[in-house]
Chain A
């Protein structure tokens, strides 16, 4: 149980285009979703926290106009990388807190490559 499905797993896009990444909680309601970014051989950097029905809270240094997060329902959160550039190439991972189990479940990640 407590599965988060993340799509796409890989995406290659041209510079200047926008890319949407979806995370769906399949068998539970994710009131809170966390979005991380991971550079090669580095740890996960928290980008933002999204709560269903409200605006996301962004970490310091993360551009909210570039990384648009929407959490319109209890089972879906999306991250849109607006006007992507090569420096946005990275591995993006979502995570949901699982109520009652005291833990967190992660999506399988999205490898974004901007060319």
Chain B
């Protein structure tokens, strides 16, 4: 079945460092891809998404490009802030089936000043 694999965390960075969180997927069809962020004790917030190959999702300085050839959707940010400390989840969905999101295991990001 469809699946998402994320890099293991935690990721610990200093403020203003460059961030990459790797995400690869396995899917039989043409999935939509998402990044969600979860702050401590809260639900999930959509960070960005992409619905077709070569699409780039971006929000709040974060970017991810839908790479069909490498089945990847890596999250990047040029300069992280302490407030970016959270858990980041990569996810996919089958837009035709309308089924639930399939999540990766999550990557904890900790940014220190």
Contact A106 B105 (CB under 8 A): no
User: In the complex, A39→B105 CA distance in Å?
Assistant: 11
Interface size of B by CB at 8 A reads 23
Q: Give the residues in chain A near B43, CB-CB below 8 Å.
A: 6, 93, 106-109
Q: Give the residues in chain B near A109, CB-CB below 8 Å.
A: 41-43
Q: Give the residues in chain A near B49, CB-CB below 8 Å.
A: 102-103
Contact A108 B32 (CB under 8 A): no
Chain A interface bracket (under 10, 10 to 19, 20 to 34, 35 or more): 20 to 34
| Binary flags per residue of A82-115, CB closer than 8 Å to B gives 1, else 0 | 0000000000010101000011111111010000
Contact B95 A102 (CB under 8 A): yes
A42 at the interface (CB under 8 A from B): yes
Q: How far is the CB of A115 from chain B (nearest CB, A)?
A: 19
B27 at the interface (CB under 8 A from A): no
A47 — nearest CB in chain B belongs to which residue? Answer: B100
Contact B105 A42 (CB under 8 A): yes
B93 at the interface (CB under 8 A from A): yes
Q: How far is the CB of A110 from chain B (nearest CB, A)?
A: 9
Quick one: which of B32-81 are within 8 Å of A by CB? 32, 34, 36, 41-46, 49, 51
Contact A44 B103 (CB under 8 A): yes
B25 at the interface (CB under 8 A from A): no
Known contacts A49-B99, A95-B101, A106-B45; 13 additional CB pairs below 8 A are: A36-B100, A43-B106, A44-B89, A44-B103, A93-B44, A102-B32, A102-B51, A103-B46, A103-B49, A104-B34, A104-B46, A106-B43, A109-B43
Binding site for B on A (CB under 8 A): 6, 32, 34, 36, 41-44, 46, 49, 93, 95, 97, 102-109, 111
Binding site for A on B (CB under 8 A): 32, 34, 36, 41-46, 49, 51, 89, 93, 95, 98-101, 103-106, 108
What are some 9 contacts across the A-B interface (CB < 8 A)?
Answer: A36-B100, A42-B105, A43-B103, A43-B106, A44-B89, A49-B99, A97-B98, A103-B32, A103-B34
